Structure 1
Amino acid sequence: MIIVIDGPAGSGKSSTAKELARRHGIRFLDSGALYRAVTLRWLEKGRPGREEFIELLTDIDIRTEADAENFRIFINGGEVTEKIRSGEIAQHVSRVAAVPEVREFINRYMRDLVKTGVYIADGRDLGSAVFPDADLKFYMDASLDERAGRRYKEMREKGQNVTLDEVRDNLASRDEMDRNRAADPLKQPEDALVIDTTGKSFDEQINEMSEIIQKNSFSKTAITKHLKS
């Protein structure tokens, strides 16, 4: 049982998915964290070329711990949940994610993961490429300026020394790469419900999406019945 939220970088997918998971008592799956973890490994290995890195994928052991409020991620036994949020990884993650073999590696992991639970997941191509038969699909969007402002505030609160222009340029670059990559580009699934969050408060967008989830029978009672079936 899976609900997916797709959209461009900085549209608020992860924070929204976390809050919806908390409200509805389901597990949160952060697909972006998985790509960031693989990007971290690529950087740690000295930025190897494509062929060499593809071979290294077989030595990457990903493990996650998910509940309604947290998504912890481990690579080869070591936790990297906080480490993957650096500015350096943000600069390179779209490049790594554009490699078809990396996408297949992550997609296979996610498909296996959701076989044993109820999840809400956020990403770029979940509703179109990874979970085309998802039980419910959202597509979140916002203007570039709005997304940059949110991401800048988030990074500054974490003590990262960045400027608003740097964040905006990075998001614009990621948009370009995500929309034009050969493997599973960012796009709005035809059957997704579009949520434009430009000018909306966090509570407004959460309430709007939560109401839709309830109308689609994703109540705690329905979820419990699904897990017992």
Structure 2
Amino acid sequence: MIVVIDGPAGSGKSSTAKAVAAKLQIQFLDSGALYRVATLIFLNADKDYQTFFDRLEESKISFHFKDGKFHAILNDQDVSDEIRSMEVSKHVSDVASNPDVRKYVNDLMREVVKSNVYIADGRDLGTAVFPDAALKFYMVADLETRAQRRYEEVRANGKNVTLEEVKQNITQRDDTDSNRSSDPLKQADDAILVDTSDMTFDEQVAFICQKIEQLISQQKT
């Protein structure tokens, strides 16, 4: 079974999904991290798309969720911290908008979730990747709230960045994600809207856990 949380950058998708996974003892899949791994490969290829696609096909990408953290592995190296840099953030939307990159990452995710119960977060999981997901959420928050959250996350990882830089990055990513020709960011018709602007973290985790537990209970009856 797959449960998905979509929404714009900084809306709280990843942190919420990880907390839900830990609380319900299910697996967590961070689709955004996988696109960041692809972006890291792109940057290491000096932003040359031909070299990038050659390296992408040759690369070994894996991941696991352990002790509350999603670990992204590239060619047997843990790049979980490296993919959170501002340089990766500046290019991830452009790389992720490429149809060939999206197919590569989507195929990787679909193969993984064939077994076990997963909760995943991303931009288009409920509309393009897993349209038949058992449960879909679309998480939003106002720009100021999202920028502050991402700023604190980046600073906690030791990166030197200003709040204004983070806000500009999120605004640019919103525009790119919403207007890309391939699988643009949008709410699935059957997704549950969760506005976290005025919700505490514990409240949003509890809300989603309750919905999942209700579904599991219904499936057992």
Coarse TM-score class (shorter-chain normalised): over 0.9
Partner of 2:13: 13
Q: How does 1:56-135 map to 2 (within 5 A)?
A: 56-67=55-66, 69-135=68-134
Would the aligned equivalents of 2:81 and 2:157 in 1 still touch at CA under 8 Å?
no
Q: Matched residue of 1:11: which SS?
A: coil
Shift of 1:191: 0.3
Confirm whether residue 191 of structure 1 aligns to residue 190 of structure 2: yes
Deviations 1:166-214 (A, max 9, x none): 1101000000000000111100000000000012110111111111111
Unaligned 5+ segments in structure 2 are none
Would the aligned equivalents of 1:30 and 1:121 in 2 still touch at CA under 8 Å?
yes
Partner of 2:31: 31
Decide which moves more: 143-152 or 57-66.
Answer: 57-66
How many residues get paired?
220
Rounded Cα–Cα distance in structure 2 between residues aligned with 1:196 and 1:35: 25
Confirm whether residue 202 of structure 1 aligns to residue 198 of structure 2: no
When normalised by structure 2's length, the TM-score is 0.95
When normalised by structure 1's length, the TM-score is 0.91
- TM-aligned CA distance change 1:52 to 1:157, over 3 Å: closer
Runs of 4+ in structure 1 over 6 Å off: none
Rounded Cα–Cα distance in structure 2 between residues aligned with 1:66 and 1:145: 29
Would the aligned equivalents of 1:39 and 1:93 in 2 still touch at CA under 8 Å?
yes
Would the aligned equivalents of 1:28 and 1:121 in 2 still touch at CA under 8 Å?
yes
Confirm whether residue 140 of structure 1 aligns to residue 139 of structure 2: yes
How high is the sequence identity, in percent, across the aligned residues? 50
Rounded Cα–Cα distance in structure 2 between residues aligned with 1:55 and 1:86: 23
Shift of 1:52: 4.1
Deviations 1:32-71 (A, max 9, x none): 110000101111111113x443333211211112357332
Unaligned 5+ segments in structure 1 are 223-229
